[in-house]
């Protein structure tokens, strides 16, 4: 994590007060070290940094190239704070939809999932039309929405033949 704030202060009556320090990354066992050129370093007791309030969504596992009508490999959406930390206490309901619909496809499956530990998993999504450059979008209440990376939907395997134009009766 990054330590922000005023990291150098003057002592007043022998006490140095650091009133505006913050750390941007969640962690366990952080310590601070105070130093002055003529004195030995002093290390604080260990402390933890928890995530801030949830502010945004982000795709964790991105959707991948998939065959039309076949399940997309379980994309995940993460609930993050303003610093990009996973908010593990968040259990919001998250909805996904097609963002960039290059092939005119329909997204099928369970489109709303509840985050567990700050992560929602969508394990039964599929798109029925081929296209290059589809994206998914994720929304949840007032949280900033997220867009996935591009992925492609390719044709399914051929299952048979069909006449485009039927033959008509004619003379020999």
Burial of 33 (0-12, 13-18, 19+ CB in 10 A): exposed
% of the chain at pLDDT higher than 70 = 100
**Nearest CA-CA partner of 153 in 110, 109, 112, 101:** 101
pLDDT of 106 strictly over 80? yes
The reported pLDDT for the residue numbered 7 is 93
Structure tokens at 170: 């004619």
pLDDT of 94 strictly over 90? yes
Structure tokens at 80: 């993050």
Q: What is the pLDDT of residues 26-84, one digit of tens each?
A: 999 999 999 988 889 999 999 999 999 999 999 999 999 999 999 999 999 999 999 99
Mean pLDDT, residues 78-107 taken together: 97
Element of type H or E holding 63: none
């Amino acid at each position: 994590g990054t330590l922000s704030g005023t990291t150098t202060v003057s002592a007043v009556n022998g006490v140095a007060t650091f009133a505006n320090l913050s750390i941007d990354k969640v962690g366990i066992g952080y310590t601070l070290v105070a130093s002055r050129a003529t004195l030995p370093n002093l290390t604080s007791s260990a402390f933890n940094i928890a995530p801030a309030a949830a502010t945004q969504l982000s795709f964790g596992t991105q959707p991948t190239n998939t065959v039309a009508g076949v399940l997309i490999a379980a994309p995940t959406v993460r609930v993050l704070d303003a610093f990009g930390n996973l908010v593990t206490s968040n259990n919001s309901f998250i909805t996904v939809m097609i963002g960039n619909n290059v092939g005119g496809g329909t997204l099928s499956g369970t489109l709303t999932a509840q985050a567990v530990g700050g992560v929602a998993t969508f394990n039964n999504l599929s798109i029925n039309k081929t296209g290059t450059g589809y994206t998914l979008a994720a929304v949840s209440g007032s949280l900033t929405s997220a867009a996935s990376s591009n992925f492609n939907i390719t044709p399914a395997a051929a299952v048979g033949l069909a006449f485009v134009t039927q033959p008509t009766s004619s003379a020999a």
